[in-house]
Amino acid sequence: MSRFWTQALAIARRDLIVEGRSRETVAVVVPFAAAAVFVVPFATDALDVRLATLAFPVYWLVGLLFGMQVALRQSAMETPSQRRQLALLGVDPVARFTGRVLSAAALVLVVLVVTAPLVLLFYDPEPIARPWSMAGVLVLFALGLAMVSTLAGDVTAGLATRTSLAPLLIVPVSVPLLLGAAQALESVVRGRTTLPWVLTLVVTDLALAVTGVVTARALEESNT
């Protein structure tokens, strides 16, 4: 295995072990995401609004907002002394970015996978003919959200306004991800081709990946 992938996988493994033991994300964010799915129907007029029509929008919004929280928590886990140590170990900034994106994407996927059955249970949406065809869409959405959150986390690292500024940076950039994922799911339900929306996700992910690669070194220098 190349040095790059050894470093990237070591960083991802570190993040997932830390999360597996601290359970900060799973124990804090996922229950709130589940609660959000549960409480939305109480904010609607059940006589006028058919809950099934809200199912997919609620799913993607919860996925976006809580997935963003997960990825942001991941990007904040390194202390200044740990960042200094990574720089002095010669860790490739792009490998570090890749590793953190992989671990954050895995945790965003956990949020999406846990909330999916809850949405099906509470909202009873139209059946999805080929649910497995959504697996790729979920992965692309999770990767994109992980990349934009990791970038925003690095840009705002050390700022007192980080917790409010980072989401403001993430949400606008996430619009193509939200659009692509939501329309892909809608296309599956309607029996239409998902290709344009999958391509939207792929292009957005590629643009974010290029941004991450190009800025990784500068962001590392500014944060060590």
User: Which of 30, 55, 70, 86 is the binder for another protein (CB under 8 A)?
Assistant: 86
Q: How far apart are CA 200 and CA 32, in angstroms?
A: 29
Select from 7, 156, 174, 204 the one that contacts another protein (CB under 8 A): 7
Range in contact with another protein (rule: CB under 8 A) among 80-88, 130-138, 150-158, 173-181: 80-88
Whole-angstrom distance, CA of residue 220 vs CA of residue 92: 10
Upper half-sphere CA count for residue 52 (Cβ side, 13 Å): 7
3 forms part of the interface with another protein (CB under 8 A) = yes
The string of DSSP letters for 13-58 reads: HHHHHHHHHH-HIIIIIHHHHHHHHHHGGGGS-TTT--HHHHHHHH
- And the tokens for 80? 């200044």
CB nearer to another protein: pick between 20 and 131? 20
If binding is defined by CB under 8 A, does position 193 make contact with another protein? Answer: no
Q: How many residues bind another protein (CB under 8 A)?
A: 23
User: Which residue in the set 46, 48, 79, 172 belongs to the binding site for another protein (CB under 8 A)?
Assistant: 79
Per-residue string for binding with another protein, 13-42, x by CB under 8 A? -x--xx--xx--------------------
* 82 touching another protein, by CB under 8 A: yes
CB of 47 to another protein, least distance (A): 49
Nearest one of 166, 163, 147, 136 to 103, comparing CA atoms: 147
Contact 54, 44 (CB under 8 A): yes
Q: Could you tell me which stretch among 5-13, 34-42, 60-68, 110-118 binds another protein (CB under 8 A)?
A: 5-13
* Of 99, 101, 97, nearest in space to 220 by CA: 97
Summarize as ranges the residues that interact with another protein (CB under 8 A): 3, 6-7, 10-11, 14, 17-18, 21-22, 79, 81-82, 84-91, 221, 224
